Amino acid sequence: MKKIYHVLEDPVYREVVLDREEERTRSLPDGTAVPYHYVHAHCAGTALKFILCLPKKENYGGHFLQYLSPFPGPDEEDASMGLTGEKDRILFALVHGYYEVESNMASSSAFGAKKDDTLVWKTSAAAAEYGRQIAMRYYGTDKRPYGYVYGGSGGGYKAMACIENTDAWDGAAPYVIGSPASLPNTICMHVQGERLLRGAFGTIVDALDAGGSGDPMQGLSKEQQEGLHELTQMGFPPRAWFLEAHGKFDAGSLPVLLPGVKGKDPSYFTDFWTKPGYEGYSGILSTKRDRVLFDAKVVRIHVPDASGAKSAPKGENGVDDAWHKLLSSAEGCWVELDHVPVPEDGYTDGTQITFRDGDAAGRAPIQLAHFVGNCALIAPSFGVSEKDIRETLQKAAPGDLVHFDNSDYLAVQSYYRHQVPDDPAFHAWDEIRQEKIPQRDEVMGYSFTGTGTVQDGQIQGKVIVSQCLMDESTTPWCGDWYRQTVERAGNGAAFRLYYFDRALHGDTNGLETPYITNYLGQLYQILLDLTAWVEQGKEPLPATNYTYEKGQIQVPQSAKERRGMQPVVEMTGYTARNEKESSCVHAKVGEPITFTARAQVPDGAGAVTSLAFDFSEDPEADVNANATYFPVEGALQVMEGGAAQSRVTHCYETPGTHFAAVRVMSQRDGNPKDPFTRIRNLARVRVIVEE
């Protein structure tokens, strides 16, 4: 029988020291101040530090939330303090009667504990239980507070480990989760796709957009078609390539994961290029074409004065940016070379730079950003400090031989092909299983969760998982895999899984454009529903109705059939010349087009509160710029059964292909001004404007 960890029986964490207590305030969007009591504490003799943010006694609801960062660092307990607006998870907790708990998980680095990965959930349990004692004293009660743990991506692994292996919480809300076989595989295949499909992303996305052909294979080369098919079968959602179609290439956490893969399986990186059955040896997937492997001589080196150098971007503690804190800056550093035998449009991602002779020889590799002519610009690097980057470059001199090599980076991109799990429940690998290509001795994902455990579905409380249908970092089918795992363990009645459309991996309100929206409102509502489920016995909404088909999660078109909590919206347009409504409208310059949006919420999910339209002229707008989108608020017409619709008219003044979009918002109580729990979706119409 599985042994559950009881942290209060562990003598390691019994001595809690309060470091400081003070009164603080946070601000709602309307400027209203929300006061709270801040407590910072640590467990003596350990590296564990944690904070409590406690609402005023009259607002306390008898429960707490505990957020787990994907990459905890030594001061992670305070990482959420600087968040504002909709991202402010502490403020959400306070206004809904929770106190917030966050900790550094006893981490001495952003990788967490090195010797014992189970510390991330053991120390989180310590923060939960001893935080309870502090809160009970503060509120003058002997009633045990209910507790709910949540986190996304790497934090999702941690949240699942917490609720499966301890009794410190009553419920958990992991989101955008991976499976035990996900890392590094999903990140590897995403980067492989960015390389293999470059130049084709616009074609792929256009085919899948409103009014498109529906066939993303049209216009692709044979190799690109095969690559797109394989990545789609593996679970990458094809619509998510819109980021790359807009020039947004992001290797995610691959720079952080690559050294770990090489450390555990070093022979793979030789086998890949030298043994039959591996892509580097056979030259498939364009590996030989995209390999950077050459030596050059230094002409001159530029290292800016340290006082004027910018630091590397520091991540917050969300699922997309937490790992940024692992990078060291190299702002303004470059090396001029005597020659660069790489085409101007050549692939250079992941290229490492090492010096073969001179005083810089033997030092740790540094990272290439890209070439500009014969100059190699230096990128922020992982595993080497800013000080070491600068010292390496300062030791180098004109005439030194410098080596450029992206062989390891290309090799790791195919790692998922040699990591087929034995468990047939991982259907994403079904086609690769049939290829009979060489497999590595170990499926590395099982040891890459950062928790020292593998999900087994033996949950010790209620669990609600949320997964995004356009998640570009963890495949949507991972939610389905975990649901089945929980059901096999006999705990299906205590579990819900919700899928959300038009949402990517990131837990930020910055992901809000005419093509995607964010899932923060859904996540907050899930935490409220989880609380009501545990404390009042109120069943949450039915899980999303979906099917799994060849790596992809498919959901019904109507809200009634889809279920869950996300509203569903459709949009059409027509002109006076052609009154037939369509998702593809042909119009003349200056001709009025009537757009109609119709939205519906699943049963019990509240009411539509907004239908807002966007007619942006710039299709290349920065997808992460927090621009103001959906400025045209449509007049809501409430229809039978809780549906709503709105009509607006717009004229385009320039010829070409445009896209109109509508964003729907719903809220459980029908409150359009709630700053946290507005749930979103969107729809689009293609508009072809002629002279």
DSSP SS3 for 487: helix
Looking up tokens 């590996």 gives 287
DSSP SS3 for 595: strand
CA distance 382 to 270: 22
Per-residue pLDDT, 256: 84
Per-residue pLDDT, 623: 55
The tens digit of pLDDT for each residue in 300-331 reads 999 998 754 444 445 567 777 665 566 677 88
Mean pLDDT taken over the chain: 94
CB 559 within 8 A of CB 576: no
Residue 337 has pLDDT above 70, yes or no: yes
Residue 649: exposure state from Cβ atoms within 10 A (0-12, 13-18, ≥19): exposed
Per-residue pLDDT, 315: 54
Please work out, in degrees rounded to the nearest 5, the angle formed at the alpha carbon of residue 373 by the alpha carbons of 370 and 375: 60
Per-residue pLDDT, 510: 76
% of the chain residues with pLDDT over 90: 87
Q: Which two tokens stand for residue 142?
A: 């002997």
CB 150 within 8 A of CB 527: yes
Per-residue pLDDT, 313: 46
Per-residue pLDDT, 131: 98
Residue 123 has pLDDT above 70, yes or no: yes
Rounded to 10 degrees, what is the CA torsion of 663, 666, 670, 673? -60
Q: Centre a 10 Å sphere on the Cβ of residue 6 and count the other Cβ atoms it contains.
A: 12
Residue 381 has pLDDT above 90, yes or no: no
Cα torsion 306, 309, 313, 316: sign: positive
Among the residue ranges 174-183, 374-383, 652-661, the one predicted with the least confidence is 374-383
State the pLDDT confidence band at 512, using cuts at 50, 70 and 90: confident
| Residues sharing a CB contact under 8 Å with residue 163, sequence separation 6 or more, in sequence order | 149, 169, 171, 172, 459, 460, 461, 463
* β-strand partners of 36: 24, 55
Q: What is the CATH number of domain 559-690?
A: 2.60.40.650
Per-residue pLDDT, 81: 97
Among the residue ranges 251-260, 262-271, 332-341, 625-634, the one predicted with the least confidence is 625-634
CA distance 452 to 429: 24
CA 4 to centroid of chain Cα atoms: 30
Residue 482: which of 452, 458, 461 has the closest Cα?
A: 458
CA distance 203 to 199: 8
CB 100 within 8 A of CB 67: yes
Q: Centre a 10 Å sphere on the Cβ of residue 2 and count the other Cβ atoms it contains.
A: 9
Strand spans (E) along 219-351: 293-302, 327-328, 334-337
CB 339 within 8 A of CB 374: yes
The tens digit of pLDDT for each residue in 54-98 reads 999 999 999 999 999 998 889 999 999 999 999 999 999 999 999
Per-residue pLDDT, 312: 45
CB 5 within 8 A of CB 461: no
CA distance 543 to 535: 20
CA distance 107 to 322: 14
Residue 334 has pLDDT above 50, yes or no: yes
Per-residue pLDDT, 316: 66
Per-residue pLDDT, 110: 53
Q: Which two tokens stand for residue 108?
A: 């001495």
Entry pTM:
0.95
Residue 188: which of 343, 417, 346, 489 has the closest Cα?
A: 417
Taking CA atoms, 342 is separated from 98, 293, 296, 348, in Å, by 56, 9, 12, 8
The DSSP 8-state label assigned to residue 238 in this structure reads: G
Taking CA atoms, 105 is separated from 68, 113, 257, 466, 532, in Å, by 9, 8, 20, 24, 28
Looking up tokens 């992460």 gives 624
Per-residue pLDDT, 628: 80
Residue 113 has pLDDT above 60, yes or no: no
Please work out, in degrees rounded to the nearest 5, the angle formed at the alpha carbon of residue 498 by the alpha carbons of 492 and 504: 140
Pick the CATH number of 7-178+455-509 from 3.90.1150.10, 2.130.10.10, 3.40.50.300, 3.40.50.1820: 3.40.50.1820
Q: Where would I find the H helices in 209-343?
A: 222-233, 242-245, 254-264, 268-274, 279-282
Domains of the chain, by residue range, sit at 7-178+455-509, 185-285+413-445, 292-404, 559-690
Taking the alpha carbons at both ends of the chain, their separation in whole angstroms is 74
Rounded mean pLDDT, 615-638: 76
Please work out, in degrees rounded to the nearest 5, the angle formed at the alpha carbon of residue 216 by the alpha carbons of 212 and 219: 100
The tens digit of pLDDT for each residue in 2-44 reads 999 999 999 999 999 999 999 999 999 999 999 999 999 999 9
Q: Helices 119-139 and 154-165 sit at what angle, rounded to 10 degrees? A: 70
Per-residue pLDDT, 617: 67
Q: Centre a 10 Å sphere on the Cβ of residue 437 and count the other Cβ atoms it contains.
A: 16
Q: Which two tokens stand for residue 111?
A: 């990788």
